[in-house]
Structure 1
Amino acid sequence: MSSSDTTHSRSRLEPTTERVTFRATDAQLEGLETLVDDDVFPNRSEAIRAAIDELVTAETRGDSE
């Protein structure tokens, strides 16, 4: 199996993910680490995905400020 096939070997129920690079302030990263350290999220990636989901849902509903 080639490395390009690895994302397709997962269960069809699991969504595929793409790597995204972004810049964050020290305060933002500290906040993420606190959420992970407090077991709110298992890791920073899960916390960021949850934040993106919440933002997209709010924007789609028109809940933005």
Structure 2
Amino acid sequence: MRAIDLSGVTWRKSSYSNPDGGACLEVSDDASPLVPVRDSKDPARPPLLFSAEAWSAFTYNLRG
């Protein structure tokens, strides 16, 4: 498996994140066809990587 360089991606916080800096999730749209997701409290930790299809299905199901 080859390493993926995410040093140039722009991260955005989830609109559902705690505004006080608590449990925050960040996602990037700059790594297509993958969607990297990370914990904003620990940005040095490697992000989770999802396929665009898996991420779309996940977020769709959150809406209920």
Ranked by relative contact order (alpha carbons within 8 Å, sequence separation 6 or more), the top structure is 2
TM-score by length of 2: 0.28
TM-score by length of 1: 0.28
Is the helix fraction higher in 1 or 2? Answer: 1
Is the strand fraction higher in 1 or 2? Answer: 2
Question: Which one has a bigger Cα radius of gyration?
Answer: 1
